[in-house]
């Protein structure tokens, strides 16, 4: 008994160059298309992750200076070297307070605040890029009066 293979019906897909639709074109796989909302969501996650790493490194630097950690210790050197580019532009903006070996470095706290504000601004821009319906825009504008 012979089997007849049935062909899938030809689908009509839009032409990539913007011309007339093409018959028999391959349908676009939904998995291969990244939706703008997913891209925005991932971007938000990346910004929060980067901020988290920066804040942790600066917090470790602050704590190590505050407790007067041994600067010749490997871990202390590692944290100081890694966080130096992040804290460098803020150094000497405010003079640190020192008691014995303990240093309260205001510049590191300032850097942490500035990086958090930059990340907050980036998050706000990403959220503002979300398309809004006419009703949503009308409601938000009315609530701001």
pLDDT 10s digits, 63-108: 999 999 898 999 999 999 999 999 998 988 988 888 888 899 999 9
Which pTM was predicted? 0.67
Mapping DSSP to helix (H, G, I), strand (E, B) and coil, where does residue 60 land? helix
At residue 106, the pLDDT reads 93
How many angstroms separate the first and last alpha carbons of the chain? 78
At residue 53, the pLDDT reads 97
At residue 63, the pLDDT reads 95
Which tens digits make up the pLDDT trace of 16-49?
Answer: 555 555 565 566 555 555 677 888 888 899 999 9
- Report DSSP letters for 63-126, one per residue: HHHHTT--TTSHHHHHHHHHHHHHHGGGTTSSPPEEETTEEE-HHHHHHHHHHHHHHHHHHHHH
């Amino acid at each position: 008994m012979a089997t007849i293979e049935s062909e899938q019906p030809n689908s009509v897909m839009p032409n990539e160059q913007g011309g007339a639709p093409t018959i028999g074109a391959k349908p676009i796989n939904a998995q291969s298309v990244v939706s703008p909302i997913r891209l925005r969501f991932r971007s938000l996650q990346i910004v929060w992750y980067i901020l988290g790493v920066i804040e942790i490194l600066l917090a470790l630097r602050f704590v190590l200076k505050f407790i007067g950690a041994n600067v010749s210790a490997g871990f202390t050197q590692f944290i100081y070297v890694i966080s130096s580019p992040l804290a460098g532009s803020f150094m000497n903006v405010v003079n640190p307070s020192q008691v014995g070996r303990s240093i309260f470095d205001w510049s590191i706290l300032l850097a942490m605040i500035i990086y958090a504000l930059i990340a907050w601004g980036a998050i706000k821009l990403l959220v503002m890029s979300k398309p809004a319906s006419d009703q949503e825009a009308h409601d938000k504008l009315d609530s701001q009066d």
